[in-house]
């Protein structure tokens, strides 16, 4: 199996997980309790040894194959969306490594409950939020931009008078909306979440 095929299959799997994860975070708009309620429901499906192991395997394959493809294709990328595809992919791979390393370390090394409080601590604690807000915000935008760049390569037809490139640009710009919504929810409507000492 080629690296490109491995990247494609692992990418689909990881994308499904990310979509559900982002949906979970959007639910934080309705409060921490709703976020935790949805998280507990979703964890029934992915927080067991078998599924979690498969997910981590696909994340590993996605990151390693993605880095190889970035190295291979970075010099040949010509169009704006080809370059966007490479740089958004690289940012996501770095984010996935850091994010899942933190969650695994919190869960298995520190024996913490990696729930809402764990996830939003950096976003709501000064001065750490000066780093985590753009770091996390760019991750969401990069994911949606990455989807738009893949869309620009796969789709062939205009829609509502927009060319494929035009559609991809609209998708990229609209990616800012869910980013703001999620940060709005995870910071308790920009008021700041009071982090419990017992996470």
Could you give the C-alpha distances from 86 to 49, 80, 94, 111, 181, in angstroms and in order? 32, 10, 13, 36, 26
Pick from 76, 83, 94, 93: nearest CA to 152? 83
DSSP assignment of 66-94, as one string? HHHHHHHHTTT--SHHHHHHHHHHHHHHH
Pick from 171, 22, 166: nearest CA to 92? 22
Q: CB–CB of 139/123 below 8 Å?
A: no
Say what the pLDDT of residue 156 is. Answer: 74
pLDDT in tens, 131-183: 999 999 999 999 998 988 888 777 777 877 788 888 888 888 888 899 999 99
Burial class (CB in 10 A: 0-12, 13-18, 19+), 116: buried
Give me the helix-helix angle, 32-46 and 49-73, nearest 10°: 90
> Could you give the percent of the chain with pLDDT greater than 70?
98
199 is a domain residue: no
Kindly tell me the sign of the dihedral angle through the C-alpha atoms of 176, 179, 185, 188: negative
> Mean pLDDT throughout 69-88?
84
**Region of poorest pLDDT, from 71-80, 122-131, 190-199:** 190-199
Is the pLDDT assigned to residue 1 strictly greater than 80? Answer: no
Domain count along the chain: 1
Token representation of residue 48:
């067991």
Which residue range(s) make up the domain with 97? 3-186
pTM of the complete model:
0.88
Distance from C-alpha of 129 to C-alpha of 140, rounded to nearest angstrom = 16
Q: Mean pLDDT across the chain, nearest whole number? A: 89
192 is a domain residue: no
Choice between 191 and 48, residue whose per-residue pLDDT is larger: 191
Distance from C-alpha of 195 to C-alpha of 199, rounded to nearest angstrom = 8
Total residue length of the chain: 199
Say what the pLDDT of residue 76 is. Answer: 78
């Amino acid at each position: 199996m080629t690296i490109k095929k491995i990247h494609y299959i692992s990418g689909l799997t990881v994308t499904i997980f990310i979509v559900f994860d982002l949906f979970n975070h959007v639910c934080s708009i309705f409060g921490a309790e709703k976020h935790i309620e949805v998280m507990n429901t979703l964890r029934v499906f992915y927080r067991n040894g078998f599924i979690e192991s498969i997910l981590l395997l696909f994340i590993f394959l996605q990151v390693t194959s993605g880095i190889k493809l970035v190295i291979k294709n970075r010099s040949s990328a010509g169009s704006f969306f080809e370059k966007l595809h490479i740089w958004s992919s690289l940012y996501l791979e770095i984010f996935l490594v850091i994010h899942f390393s933190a969650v695994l370390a919190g869960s298995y090394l520190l024996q913490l409950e990696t729930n809402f409080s764990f996830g939003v601590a950096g976003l709501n604690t000064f001065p750490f939020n000066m780093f985590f807000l753009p770091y996390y915000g760019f991750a969401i935008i990069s994911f949606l931009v990455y989807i738009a760049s893949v869309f620009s390569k796969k789709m062939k037809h205009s829609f509502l008078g927009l060319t494929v490139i035009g559609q991809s640009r609209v998708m990229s710009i609209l990616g800012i909306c869910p980013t703001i919504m999620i940060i709005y929810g995870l910071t308790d409507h920009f008021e700041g979440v009071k982090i419990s000492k017992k996470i």
